[in-house]
Structure 1
Amino acid sequence: MNPFRLFTWFAALLRSPLPAPRKIHLRLFLPIGLFLLTLICSLGWGWEHAVVHAQSPAADAPVTSPDAGIDKGPAPPQSSGEAAAKDPDVSDAAKKGGVVEPLAAGQYVLEFNRSPVVGNRLRLRSIYDETRLRFTRPRAWKPKSAKLQIRFRHSPALYATRSNLTAYVNGASVGSLPLNKKQGEIGSAIFDIPPDLIQDYNEVVLAALQNNSPTCTQDPFDPSLWTEILPDSKLVFNFQPQPIALNFSHYPFPIFDNLSLEPNQLAFLLPNAVDESWLTATTRFQTSLGRFAQYRPMNTRLLTAIDETKPNERLVIIGTPKTQPALAKLTLPLSLKEGQLRDEQQKVLPNDVGVVMLTTTADKRNPVLVATGNSPEGVAKAVQFLIQSRDRQLGTGQAIVVRQVNDVPPRPSREWAGYLPTASNFQLKDLTTFDNKPYEDMTVRGADAPVMEFDFRALPDDQFSTGNVLNLNYSYSPQVNPLTSLVEVQLDGLALTGKKLDSVTGGSHETLRVVLPEDRIKPNSKIRVRFQLDPRERRSCNRALDQQLWGTVHADTSFELNRTNVARLPDLKLLQFGFPFTAPQDLSKMAIVLPDAPTTNDLALLLEVSARLGRLSQSESVKLDVFQASKLPTQDRGNRHLIAIGTRDRFPLPEALRSEGFTIQEAFRRQRGQSQLQTLPDAEGLVKEIVSPWNRDRALLILSGQTKTGLDHVRDLLNRDFLFFQLREDTVLIDAGEPSPNPYDPNAYTLEFLQQAKQKQQISEMSLLSRILKTLRIGWFIIAPGFIIAALLLYAIAQSYLGRLHKKG
């Protein structure tokens, strides 16, 4: 409808004569109606134009397809490049280096025995039991089909028509089967899983209903009620890799995928000259990746050329265009001319400006992260942007110019995320879960309720005295059997105390006072609360009866702790928690020392150490420094905890190798006390902690060996959890029985632990006055009577002396 014709028609209508009674009202109504109709017509024309415009392809449309994540059913086979070519926006961005092209479609087999929950078998007991296995889906995988293959065996006492096994995936049932096999016979079943059920985080639940009677199973704890899931059961799914859009809003993806089913593969490109600025920036970046990884495996290696990159590897390039000339061979979002980075106006960026970019290799198969600048200062600023979460969260797009990064203020040395608060009195809600959320009220249900567990991790230098108390606040439901129902508290599996649930009407916010033994609270401790809930009236064959029973632990459960912070070093067991090198958590009081002109083995071990330090610490920033031997400042040598890396002949701090106890010397000689011997060859790695020769309040960690093979073994020790968490004493010798040991076989390595230090040094962050005041505050009930007794003794001695003087006078 044309609004101009409508306006002419209404104008003629206004000029026509109207009846007198209605003339005023209509002449008021018609202008208002004219305005409203004109507005509606204009809006309708604009809406139609907007719809037509939206249907045409836009030049700045997002890279991700609007159908991403929607399964449209089976598609005809296509090559890895065709998927991106069909979307004009994705292919357009790919030409500019903004998309990583997908690899060919594949199949992934996830066997149950990879989960530590399964081990050699997974057993289901009682009338009803279930077990849960969790797995992730890598971010760039789109499932095409999925199958769950179960191999099992069960008790021959099970009654087939009343016993079955059911599988659930993310809450949806995918199949069920009867438990009707003969004795010793192994059953097998395959369940199809709809691809749209597969999410980023997935859970497989296997539930068994087991009865040994055609009518009613009287004893739910009969040992004949069992079913075993064999460890060769597996989950198989076919997937189609998707194009990966390069955007810092998803960082650390695609450089690090926390949903990956395999170890993340990273490669660092070596610069043409290794200096301290590159060492420090690269080590800080690797530490931040370790914090992203946490418990997830990650493999790192060093490259001398970009074309050495393998499939599924992520390439990281850190350095200026002069130290990393390979940057000129990449398609970068910003211009690089004459060895200098330039902005959109082709002006040279200032030296104090950092640049971070995402691009791809020449074949567009591997994502590349570039942290660069026109000077080492700019490179350091770019890396610091990637490290600090408060700044990194602002990032988006494919390239970021970092002009200013705020310095994160230092945190107290004893403020560690995930550990106990430093206050003497705190509550359960002050502790955090594994995903850094505060604990809330927790409730369990049923007669066979699961145990409630929470971390109770003391700081590594915490020394507890008597008087540690847990005030457990709990509630429970009515209709419990007061004779057999109870609540129990355990510390690391040790039962501390229990209390009957003796009210048939239930309990609300009752308190149980539990004394915590001072010698049992460790940096990896866990407290478990178990409710044994039995119904007052037990009916046969009625499982639903016990679901009315519940127990709750409240978040205002409180703790009272008496402790001082004193650690005795050297002790490699404390290194399992990063102490003392991760105090404070930003690593500002430690440094790593390398030989002058470090080798590739030295650098590989440096990256592994920094990744492990990242796994063991949580902070807003990373402030550790890396020095070469000849450039280590005297002040840092005495004021920092040090980690020294290198073979014996190139060790950066040779005086440390002459410390007491076990030492490695020239010509493959070893010495321990007065004993000396020579070994040919000596391929063992050495991990040794000593008190720093330059400061008795600091520690020095030695990572060494006679050969580069020894350094590789030390690197394996730091990379593999099943080796690292065996550390103890103050000296460890590690060797492998074969040149390329199986990374998943704990028996492939030999560890020998030695205690060399004759006397340990006490290290504490508290001042002398603070120690005295805390001792007085904790031990007042002993010190006060002591003062009184001492005063009485002095009074008696003084009176006796005065009496003797009086007699002589």
Structure 2
Amino acid sequence: MVAKNMIRLSLVLFLLAQLLVFPRPTAAQGTVLRFADLGYGDRTAFGIDAVLDYYFPIPTGLRPLSDGRLTLRFTHSPLLRADRSTLSVVLNGRALSSVRLTPDNADGGELSVELPIAGFDGPGLFIQVRLHMRLTDDECEEVQNSALWTVVHGDSTLQIDLQPVESGTLADLAALFAPLPLSAPTVRSPPTIVLSPLNEAATRIAAGRVAFAIGRWAALARQAPVLTVADAIPGQLPSIVVALGTLPAGDWGSVRWNGRMYEVDGQEVPAEHGLLALAPTSPPRLLVAGATPTALQQAALALTRPLPAMSVVAVAQPPPQVGAAAWRDGAASFAQLGVERRKVTGAGEHQIDIAFERPAHWDLRVGGTLDLHITAAAGLTAQTSWVTAIVNGITLGSQRLRIETNSPESYRFALPADLLNSDLEGTPIRRLDLQIRLYLDLPNIGCEEVDTSAAWAVVEPTSAWRLPSDPAAAHDLGRFPATLLADREARLVLPDQPTLGDVHAGLELAAAVGRWAAIGDMRPPLLLTANEVGDDRRGPLAVLGHRERHPLMAMINDPNEMPFVYRPGRTRAATLSIVPSPWQAGMNVLVIDATDSDGLRLGVQALRERELLQVLRGNQAQLAADPDPVVLSLSSPLAAPPQTLTPRVEVVLLERFPAWQVVGAILLIALVATAILVIRIRWLRRR
């Protein structure tokens, strides 16, 4: 009996040891997303060799925590030869798995592949489904036989465990503080801007520049900027502390305040230098500090420029001006807009989708172009390889690929300016959704085997948008922040002695400016009070408050128009308007009128969120919350709808007049002619 127990115990210990030495692999976890929900429905591949491309971007602020799983659901032609037809999956250039296309999986086939993406920090997952299909064993297979097909269905799934980025360096601030999309598996609390001290003008101005940077980070994530404000560091929430002088209590790593200036690792930082530091905490906590107001402003301005991969840096001077900012001269390369080179490999048709945002305050003129710089493999068949460009669903045209050399070739496509300014509702167009379709064809001479990987093409980052334009109407709310764009920095003016809620609204407006300012080198606005503005009220201004509390509001003429429709009994929470400046000819003032800070924040919300901003029309709108924000436009759209989408019947000139008018005109002409003739005859007889 004892011997049996010893044997059992030995067996248990052996099994435990095996589990410790050979742990089970971590299974894929996270959210399961359908291809159809990600924009890819059923897609069909034709021909002997074909490739289906899928690109799944990883949102800013998220990274895969563990390996993922791809489940392909497909059907294929039942005539395919099972021993010669295959389907393969390639992730970012790395082959992962293959399966034969057999009669068993011709209807309802499925392939599940583990994706080694744990810790992946790239911009997205580029997945290729490569197919080789054969009907016969003949050397001379019909390349375009219609029975050579495979369908990858939209109910295929991608399982990926995306989690928020919780740690990093100053180079990762966008990932640490940018808002997450609604599809994210978790909710990230918005960053809290802590002003220390609260009622100091220098900290408020610096906080406005920090809020502008938050808007920039939100633009990278293509989300609406969200933030909160406090006078003390919140617990267990991401925060950005704007400190003038004394360092707020907390764990700041190697940063100290000695009563006169800051110290890093015991070494004093010059009083005229600003300081940026990430605390060794989670959630992230950023310090924007300076011993003097000038040093604090330098530190805040540095957030609008790329920063090194360090946890602490001193800022010795204001950041230099960007030499070649995107859209500054009416053009922008893909590189300036953050798009890297895109390469596709394999014979057949490929699709590349890229989303851009253009300045909303431009009225595009005729002559705009999209210049694609493409490098293609020299072995392609020039007669049957092509590129097509589609913008916002509008096909610009197709061109044959030029493959004489391996150097980039330029393909210019004319842009329809009329269709890219506004839609039928008069809403200004801000997005340019570009789809590039490439068809790569290899020669099939003498029925020789061809390596399909020899077919490739690269869309270079030197590709560019060239958009000649005129300034659009600056008094159109739908073109925000056009009113605040000028040669000097804009000023956001709060009431004197603003409440914390007023400051919150002003900071959210600064973040909204950062979100929608497509010009790369726009200077952050200044968040001031009416007293701090003084008598110099020229330049771009935004006034936030109520006439009873704000001295500048009484000097502005309120249009006070009535909405087209309204709901009886609903109280107006805020009014947005753009009015001529009483202090400078040719300038406009953005006015957000509300009785309290909640109303101000509601008005700013209409400028922060895309869903509300695209509803704004003309120069005045009312907002109410019951319970969701509702926008009522008080003026007609200023942007005319595209003429090509509003055709008119061309009427012959004569058909524009009633028949009786035509007959009457003829009789009148005849009568006048007769009278002239009679007078002429009598005059001749008298002579």
Normalising to structure 1: TM-score of the pair? 0.58
Does the CA contact (< 8 Å) of 2:619 and 2:635 recur in 1?
yes
Would the aligned equivalents of 1:591 and 1:624 in 2 still touch at CA under 8 Å?
yes
Task: Provide the rounded CA distance (Å) in 2 between the counterparts of 1:688 and 1:231.
Answer: 48
| Percent of matched pairs sharing the same residue | 16
SS class of match (2:173): coil
Distance 1:753 1:475, change over 3 A: same
1:370 aligns with 2:291: no
CA–CA distance in 1 between the matches of 2:567 and 2:617? 26
Pair 1:640-2:560 in alignment: no
1:603 maps to amino acid:
V
Q: CA deviation at 1:227?
A: 2.2
- Would you say the 8 A contact 1:126–1:221 is kept in 2? no
Q: Is the 8 A contact 1:156 1:182 kept in 2?
A: no
Q: Where do 1:128-139 residues align within 5 Å?
A: 128-134=50-56, 136=58
Deviation at 1:292, TM superposition (A): 3.8
Counting only pairs closer than 5 Å after superposition, residues 589-668 of structure 1 correspond to structure 2 as 589-615=489-515, 616-617=517-518, 619=520, 622-635=523-536, 637=537, 639-646=538-545, 650=549, 653-655=552-554, 658-662=557-561
Letter in structure 1 aligned against 2:159: K
**Pick from 199, 202, 205: which aligns with 1:280?**
205
Whether the aligned pair in 2 keeps the contact of 1:108 and 1:237 (CA below 8 Å) is: no
Q: Secondary structure at the match of 2:67?
A: strand
CA contact (8 A) 1:593 1:652 kept: no
User: Are the structure 2 counterparts of residues 110 and 703 from structure 1 closer, same or farther at C-alpha, using a change threshold of 3 Å?
Assistant: farther
Amino acid at match of 1:568: A
Contact 1:124/1:131 (CA < 8 Å) preserved in 2?
A: no
> 2:240 corresponds to which residue?
316
- SS of the aligned residue for 1:702 comes to strand
Task: Write the distance in 2 (CA, Å) between the matches of 1:421 and 1:265.
Answer: 35
| SS across alignment from 1:273 | coil
State the distance in 1 between where 2:267 and 2:382 align: 81
> Deviations for 1:430-453, whole angstroms, at most 9, x for unmatched residues?
842155579999998745254798
Corresponding residue of 1:191: 113
Deviation at 1:318, TM superposition (A): 1.0
Give the CA deviation at 1:284. 0.6
TM-aligned CA deviation for residue 126 of structure 1: 1.6
What is the CA distance between 1:579 and its match in structure 2? 2.6
Stretch deviating more after TM superposition (198-207 or 603-612): 198-207
- Greater displacement, 130-139 / 603-612: 130-139
Distance in structure 1 (CA, Å) of the matches to 2:548 and 2:156: 48
Aligned to 1:230: 155
Asked whether the 8 Å contact 2:352–2:436 carries over to 1, the reply is yes
What is the aligned partner in structure 1 of residue 472 from structure 2?
567
**Alignment equivalent of 1:302, drawn from 222, 229, 254:** 229
Pick closer, same or farther for the CA change 1:192–1:690 going to 2, 3 Å: same
Partner AA of 1:698 in structure 2: M
How much has 1:283 moved relative to structure 2? Answer: 0.9
**1:746-765 paired onto structure 2 within 5 Å:** 750-756=630-636
Instruction: Give the corresponding residue for 1:18.
Output: none
Unaligned runs of 5+ in 2: 1-19, 422-429, 641-687
Q: How does 1:452-491 map to 2 (within 5 A)?
A: 460-461=361-362, 464=365, 480=381
Q: Does 1:146 align with 2:46?
A: no
Counting only pairs closer than 5 Å after superposition, residues 509-528 of structure 1 correspond to structure 2 as 519-520=418-419, 522=421, 524-525=431-432
SS in 2 for 1:569: coil
Q: Which amino acid aligns with 1:109?
A: G
Residue 626 (structure 1) shift = 1.4
Question: Which residue is equivalent to 2:42?
Answer: 123
Shift of 1:119: 3.7
SS of 1:729's equivalent in the other structure is coil
- Cα separation, 1, equivalents of 2:439 and 2:569: 62
Q: Secondary structure at the match of 1:589?
A: coil
> In structure 2, do the counterparts of structure 1 residues 621 and 755 end up closer, same or farther at CA, with 3 Å as the change threshold?
closer
Q: What SS does the aligned partner of 2:30 have?
A: strand
Matched, 1:405 2:405: no
Give the one of 573, 590, 594 matched to 1:701: 590
AA at the equivalent of 2:42:
R
Q: What does 1:52-67 align with in structure 2 at a 5 Å threshold?
A: none
Q: CA shift at 1:591, angstroms?
A: 1.0
Question: Normalising to structure 2: TM-score of the pair?
Answer: 0.66
Q: Compute the displacement of 1:527 (Å).
A: 7.5
Q: Distance in 2 between matches of 1:543 and 1:650?
A: 81
Q: Which has the higher contact order (CA 8 A, sep 6+)?
A: 2
In structure 2, the partner of 1:419 is 327
Query: For residues 365 and 512 of structure 1, what CA distance do their matches in structure 2 show?
Result: 48
CA distance in 1, matches of 2:119, 2:573: 49
Q: Secondary structure at the match of 1:611?
A: helix
Q: Structure 2 residue aligned with 1:290, among 198, 209, 215? A: 215
SS in 2 for 1:448: strand
Question: How far apart, in 1, do the equivalents of 2:338 and 2:161 lie?
Answer: 33
Give the match's secondary structure for 2:329. Answer: coil
Residue 283 of structure 1 aligns to a residue whose secondary structure is helix
Tell me the distance in 2 between the aligned counterparts of 1:648 and 1:178. Answer: 74
Contact 1:157 1:225 in 2 (8 A): no
Question: C-alpha distance in 1, partners of 2:122/2:370?
Answer: 38
Read off the aligned partner of 2:482 and give its amino acid letter.
F
Question: Any unmatched runs of 5+ in structure 1?
Answer: 1-71, 77-104, 423-429, 663-670, 740-748, 761-809
Whether the 8 Å CA contact 2:374–2:408 is kept in 1: the answer is yes
Contact 1:268 1:301 (C-alpha < 8 Å) held by counterparts = yes
User: Aligned with 1:688: secondary structure?
Assistant: strand
- Structure 1, residues 581-626: CA drift from partner, whole Å, max 9, x if none? 2445xxx331111223334443333333222322324556845211
Q: Report the Cα distance in structure 1 between the residues aligned to 2:438 and 2:175, rounded to whole angstroms.
A: 45
Q: Is the 8 A contact 2:359 2:519 kept in 1?
A: no
Q: 1:547 to 1:605 in 2, by over 3 A?
A: same
Q: Which residue of 1 aligns with 2:672?
A: none
Please show how residues 434-453 of structure 1 align to structure 2 within 5 Å.
434=335, 436=337, 446-450=347-351
Structure 2 CA distance, aligned partners of 1:526 and 1:160? 40
What amino acid is the match of 2:71?
I
Q: Residue 281 of structure 1: CA displacement?
A: 0.4
In structure 1, the residue matched to 2:299 is 382
SS at match of 2:559: coil
Find the aligned partners of 1:651 and 1:686 in 2 and give their Cα distance. Answer: 15
CA distance in 2, matches of 1:138, 1:171: 22
- Is the contact made by 2:349 and 2:437 (CA closer than 8 Å) also made in structure 1? no
> Residues 237 and 348 from structure 1, CA distance in 2 versus in 1: closer, same or farther, beyond 3 angstroms?
closer
The CA distance in 2 between the partners of 1:191 and 1:328, in whole Å, is 50
Q: Is the 8 A contact 1:154 1:181 kept in 2?
A: no
Deviation at 1:282, TM superposition (A): 0.5
CA distance in 2, matches of 1:366, 1:631: 35
* Residue 524 to residue 738, structure 1, CA distance change in 2 (3 Å): closer
Whole-Å separation in 1 of the counterparts to 2:359 and 2:373 = 21
* SS class of match (1:294): helix
Distance in structure 2 (CA, Å) of the matches to 1:441 and 1:377: 43
Deviation of 1:203 after TM superposition, in Å, equals 1.7
How far 1:130 sits from its partner (Å)? 2.2
CA distance in 2, matches of 1:506, 1:349: 55
Deviation string 1:254-275 (CA, Å, 9 cap, x unpaired) is 8547999765741222445334
Q: Is the 8 A contact 2:53 2:129 kept in 1?
A: yes
Q: How far is 1:570 from its partner? A: 1.5
The whole-number CA distance in structure 2 between the counterparts of 1:712 and 1:678 is 21
Could you tell me which amino acid in structure 1 is paired with residue 494 of structure 2? Answer: L
1:331 shift after superposition: 5.3
Give the whole-Å Cα distance in 1 for the aligned partners of 2:131 and 2:534.
69
For residues 653-684 of structure 1, what are the alpha-carbon distances to aligned partners after superposition, in whole Å with 9 as ceiling and x for unaligned? Answer: 4348743253xxxxxxxx459x9x89544265
Aligned-residue Cα RMSD (Å) equals 5.7
Q: Deviations over 1:35-59 (max 9, x none)?
A: xxxxxxxxxxxxxxxxxxxxxxxxx
Deviation at 1:182, TM superposition (A): 9.3
